[in-house]
Structure 1
Amino acid sequence: MSVTDLRVTIGRREIVRGVSFDVAREQTVGIVGESGSGKSMTVLAATGLLDAPGAVVTGTAALADGTQLVGASARTLRQVHGGRIGFVFQDPGTSLNPLLTLSRQITETLETHRNMTRRQARARAGELLDAVGLPTERLDAYPHQLSGGQRQRVMIAIALACDPELLIADEPTTALDVTTQSQIIDLVADLQRDFGAAVVWISHDLGVIGQVADEVTVLREGEAVEQSSILDVFDRPQHPYTRELLEARPRLDGDGPTEVEDTPVLLDVNGLDVRYGDVAAVHDVSFQIRRGTTLGLVGESGSGKSTVAAALTGLAEPSAGTASLDGLDVFGAGRDLRRRISLVFQDPFASLNPRARVGAAISEPLQVHRLAKGRHARADRVAQLLERVGLPTEFASRYPHELSGGQRQRVSIARALATEPDLLILDESTASLDVSIQSRVLDLLTELQRDLGLSYLFIAHDLAVVHRMCHDVMVMRSGAVAEYRPAAELFAAPEQEYTRTLLAAIPPTRPRAGI
Structure 2
Amino acid sequence: MSDPVLAVDDLRVRIGRHDIVRGVSLSVEREQTVGIVGESGSGKSMTVLAATGLLDAPAAAVSGSSLLSGRDGAASTQLVGASVRALRRVHGDRIGFVFQDPGTSLNPMLTVERQITESLEAHRRSTRREARTRALELLDAVGLPDPESRLHSYPHQLSGGQRQRVMVAIALSCDPELLVADEPTTSLDVTTQAQIIDLVRTLQRDFGTAVIWISHDLGVIGQVADEVTVLRAGETVEQAPILDVFDRPRHDYTRELLAARPVLGAVTPEPAAADAPVLLDVAGLDVRFPVTTPTGRSTVHAVSDLSFTVRRGTTLGVVGESGSGKSTVAAALTGLVTPDAGTATLDGADLLARRVDRSLRRRVGLVFQDPFSSLDPRTPVGTAIGEPLRVHRLAGDRSQRRTRIAELLDLVGLPADFASRYPHELSGGQRQRVSIARALAMEPDLLILDESTASLDVSVQARVLDLLADLQQRLTLTYLFIGHDLAVIQRMSHDVLVMRGGRAVEYRPAAELFAEPDDDYTCRLLAAVPPARPRV
Q: Distance in 2 between matches of 1:258 and 1:330?
A: 29
Which of 83, 87, 91 does residue 93 from structure 2 map onto?
83
User: Does residue 79 of structure 2 align to residue 69 of structure 1?
Assistant: yes
Give, in whole Å, the separation in 2 of the partners of 1:331 and 1:381: 30
Deviation of 1:512 (Å): 2.5
Is residue 2:465 matched to residue 1:442? Answer: yes
Corresponding residue for residue 296 of structure 2: none
Select which of 278, 288, 298 maps to 1:275: 288
Cα deviation digits, residues 63-90 of structure 1 (max 9, x gap): 1121000000011100000010000000
Runs of 4+ more than 2 Å apart: none
- Provide the residue aligned with 1:14 in structure 2: 19
- Letter paired with 1:78: R
The alpha-carbon deviation at position 136 of structure 1 amounts to 1.9
Residue pairs, 1:140-179, within 5 angstroms: 140-179=152-191
Correspondent of 1:41 among 46, 55, 70: 46
Q: CA deviation at 1:338?
A: 0.5
- SS of equivalent residue, structure 1 residue 169: strand
Letter in structure 2 aligned against 1:160: L
For residues 110 and 64 of structure 1, the distance between their equivalents in structure 2, rounded to whole angstroms, comes to 22
CA distance in 1, matches of 2:360, 2:287: 21
Do residues 254 (structure 1) and 266 (structure 2) align?
A: yes
Give the letter aligned to residue 74 of structure 1.
Answer: V
Which residue of the partner structure matches residue 120 of structure 1?
A: 130
**Residue 462 (structure 1) aligned to one of 485, 488, 504:** 485
Distance in 1 of aligned mates of 2:100 and 2:535: 22
Please name the residue that 1:402 is paired with: 425
Deviations 1:13-56 (A, max 9, x none): 10000000010000000000000000000000000000110000
Whole-Å separation in 2 of the counterparts to 1:133 and 1:259: 43
How far apart are the structure 1 equivalents of 2:52 and 2:317? 42
Asked if 1:92 is matched to 2:86, the reply is no
Q: Does 1:295 align with 2:320?
A: no
Map 1:100-111 → 2, pairs under 5 A: 100-111=110-121
1:222 is matched with 234
Give the corresponding residue for 1:484. 507
Query: 2:21 is aligned with what amino acid?
Result: V
Residue aligned with 1:355, SS: coil
Paired amino acid for 1:52: A
Between the aligned partners of 1:468 and 1:431, the Cα distance in structure 2 is 14
Match of 2:352 among 328, 331, 346: 331
Contact 1:27 1:198 in 2 (8 A): yes
Query: 2:73 aligns to what?
Result: none
1:95-143: per-residue Cα shift (whole Å, max 9, x none)?
A: 0000000000000000000000111101100100000011222101100
Distance 1:116 1:326 in 2: 66
- Deviations along 1:249-292, whole A, 9 cap, x unmatched? 11112120011212100000000011112221101000000011
Kindly state the Cα deviation for residue 510 of structure 1 after the two structures are TM-superposed.
Answer: 1.1
- Whichever residue aligns with residue 136 of structure 1, its letter is P
> Who is 1:56 aligned against?
61
CA distances 1:403-424 after superposition (whole Å, capped 9, x unpaired): 0000000000000000000000
Whole-angstrom distance in 1 between the partners of 2:220 and 2:510: 24
**3-state SS in 1 of match to 2:78:** coil
Q: CA RMSD in A?
A: 0.5
Match for 1:300: what amino acid?
E
**Counterpart of 2:534?**
511
Q: Separation in 1 of the partners of 2:111 and 2:26? A: 37
What CA distance in whole angstroms lies between the structure 2 residues aligned with 1:257 and 1:273?
31
1:210 alignment partner in structure 2: 222
User: What's the CA shift for 1:372?
Assistant: 1.1
Aligned partners of 2:260 and 2:477: how far apart in 1?
Answer: 24
What corresponds to 1:28 in structure 2? 33
Whether the 8 Å contact between 1:212 and 1:512 is mirrored in structure 2 is no
Q: Name the CA distance, whole Å, in 1 between partners of 2:190 and 2:345.
A: 32
Partner Cα separation in structure 1 for residue 147 and residue 432 of structure 2: 41
Q: Secondary structure at the match of 1:311?
A: helix
The amino acid that maps onto 1:475 is V
2:440 corresponds to which letter in structure 1? L
Residue in 2 aligned with 1:346?
A: 369
Task: Quote the Cα distance in structure 2 between the aligned partners of 1:241 and 1:409.
Answer: 23
What amino acid is aligned across from residue 272 of structure 1 in structure 2?
A: L
TM-score, length-scaled by structure 1: 0.99
Once residues 405 and 288 of structure 2 are traced to their aligned partners in structure 1, the CA distance between those partners, rounded to angstroms, is 38
Unaligned runs of 5+ in 1: none
User: Aligned partners of 2:250 and 2:508: how far apart in 1?
Assistant: 41
Structure 2: distance between partners of 1:367 and 1:275: 35
Following the alignment from structure 2 to structure 1, what is the Cα–Cα distance between the partners of residues 121 and 267?
A: 54
Letter of the 1:221 partner, please give it: A
Residues in 2 aligned to 1:379 and 1:228: alpha-carbon distance in whole angstroms = 50
Counterpart Cα distance in 2 of 1:478 and 1:197: 36
For residues 285 and 328 of structure 2, what CA distance do their matches in structure 1 show?
10
Q: Aligned letter for 2:313?
A: G
Partner of 2:212: 200
Contact in 2 for aligned 1:275/1:319 (Cα 8 Å): yes
1:297-312 to structure 2, matched below 5 A, reads 297-312=318-333
How many residues in Structure 1 have an aligned counterpart in Structure 2?
513
SS in 1 for 2:456: coil
- Per-residue CA deviation, residues 454-495 of structure 1 (Å, 9 max, x unaligned), is 000000000000010000000000001110000000000000
- Alpha-carbon distance between aligned partners in 1 of 2:469 and 2:304, rounded to the nearest angstrom: 31
Deviation at 1:374, TM superposition (A): 1.1
5 Å-filtered alignment, 1:184-195, equals: 184-195=196-207
Q: Deviations over 1:141-180 (max 9, x none)?
A: 1000000000000000000000000000000000000000
8 Å Cα contact 1:152/1:172 also seen in 2: yes
Displacement after TM superposition at 1:215 (Å): 0.2
Matched, 1:2 2:7: yes
Percent sequence identity over aligned pairs: 74
d(CA) in 2 for partners of 1:334, 1:457: 21
Query: What is the DSSP-based 3-state SS (H/G/I as helix, E as strand, rest coil) of the residue aligned with 1:284?
Result: strand
| Structure 2 residues without counterparts, runs of 5 or longer | 1-5, 71-75, 291-298
Q: Is 1:264 matched up with 2:285? A: no
Equivalent residue for 1:245, pick from 257, 264, 267: 257
Could you say which residue in structure 2 is the equivalent of 1:500?
A: 523
Quick one: distance in 1 between partners of 2:12 and 2:300? 53
2-structure distance, mates of 1:436, 1:512? 23
Helix, strand or coil at the partner of 1:270: strand
1: CA distance, partners of 2:249 / 2:140: 40
**CA–CA separation in structure 1 for the residues paired with 2:31 and 2:435:** 43
Partner of 1:506, secondary structure, is coil
Cα deviation per residue 1:342-394 (whole Å; 9 max; x = unaligned)? 00000000000000000000000001100011111111100000000000110
